[in-house]
Amino acid sequence: MESGNSQFFVGIDIGGTKIQVVIADRHGAIHGEARKKHKGAVDFEWVVGRSVAAVDAALDKAKLGRKEISALGIGAPSPILPDGTAVHAPNLGWQNVPLVATFAQELGWPTYAANDCDAGTFGEHRFGAGQAAQTVVGLFMGTGIGGGLVRNGEILAGDNYQGAEFGHTKVQVGGQRCGCGARGCLEAYASKLGIASFVAHQVNCEGRETMLTELCDGDYRSLRSSALAKAYRATDAVAVAAIDQAADYLGIGVANAITLLAPSVIVLGGGVIEALGSLLLDRVVSAAEQASWPPGSFADTSIRLAKLGDHAVALGAAAWAIQRGQF
């Protein structure tokens, strides 16, 4: 066995409600993992401490010591500057935290970081549904819509590292209000928040009934992907209409990505897709076909479900460390 094949890497996914750690090799096989829940808006120092504890727990499961790790990759819900600063993570309440420097000092490994959606896209590119493609776009339908863009093994996030905000491109000028304050964002339609506002409108303004009301105690913004999947599979009319609309708009997002970026692969992931993807894929693809240009670009783009599930960000962060550190 070559020495390179016995190297191990740590990937940390710092999410809005959890910290997830994987110990991976360079082929993306997971040798140990750990997960810690939290309640959002958490102090950076607290996250560092919990992350280190999770890393040690994952190392235990992998039967590895800290000395056997070659590098660390971190995915975080923030733009990441080249110096490793996390610029702003609204879900965590962070502003300009020294993400890479702090973890490098704490754990002593070469450390690299990427935005979580970029890391997820990079993970799918390296180990999942987007392997061997020159350009890969990732679109992640969860509470919001996140996106990432990888080209020639490089994450493209714009000259200020804050681009690839697919969820906030405008697809319906003057339309539905988005959480960002603007109207007509893709996220205002093709996300759980978009689904929630559609359902709330149907119930409160149109007087319709849906099993979703009971499944979320009437708090539609807290709807879980599993509840959506249950209602969709039960052909609950309001749930079907809401989710179909979200899928149609996700298809518009896919189409705009094809029209602008002509990637070889578009990977669809995120909680709603995890729960319902195979039921929605045909609808998304059909909407994308109608809306993308030129027709040859639609034909040249493969639209695929993500393969790495909720390991995508942590594995992608580990892959990013391997790439950036040339391990």
What are the CB-based long-range contacts (under 8 Å, 24+) for 37-42? 40/16, 40/91, 40/92, 41/91, 41/92, 41/93, 42/92, 42/93
Instruction: Output the CA–CA distances (angstroms, integers) from residue 111 to 73, 99, 163, 320, 321, in the order listed.
Output: 6, 9, 22, 10, 7
Residue from 252, 273, 284, 314 in contact with its own copies (CB under 8 A): 252
Residue window 194-233: x/- pattern of binding to its own copies, with contact defined by CB under 8 A: ----------------------------------------
Residue whose CB is less far from its own copies, 204 or 290: 290
Residue window 50-79: x/- pattern of binding to its own copies, with contact defined by CB under 8 A: -----------------------------x
Residue whose CB is less far from its own copies, 122 or 249: 249
**Spatial distance between the Cα atoms of 87 and 81, rounded to a whole number of angstroms:** 7
Query: Which of the 8 DSSP states describes residue 182?
Result: -
Residue 264 is a binding residue for its own copies (CB under 8 A) = yes
Taken in order 12, 13, 15, 19, the sign of the CA dihedral is negative
Residue 7 is a binding residue for its own copies (CB under 8 A) = no
Residue 91 is a binding residue for its own copies (CB under 8 A) = no
- CB atoms < 10 A from the CB of 206, how many? 8
Choices 104-112, 174-182, 267-275, 313-321 (CB under 8 A): range interacting with its own copies: 174-182
**Spatial distance between the Cα atoms of 207 and 189, rounded to a whole number of angstroms:** 21
Query: Is residue 145 classed as helix, strand or coil in its secondary structure?
Result: strand
Residue from 8, 112, 127, 161 in contact with its own copies (CB under 8 A): 161
Q: How many residues bind its own copies, per CB under 8 A?
A: 47
**Spatial distance between the Cα atoms of 137 and 261, rounded to a whole number of angstroms:** 9
Choices 17-25, 101-109, 175-183, 230-238 (CB under 8 A): range interacting with its own copies: 175-183
Residue whose CB is less far from its own copies, 59 or 266: 266
- CB 21, CB 51: distance < 8 Å: yes
| Site residues, its own copies (CB under 8 A) | 79, 87-88, 133-135, 149, 151, 156-166, 168-173, 175, 180, 182, 185, 249, 252, 255-256, 258-264, 290-291, 293-294, 296-297, 300
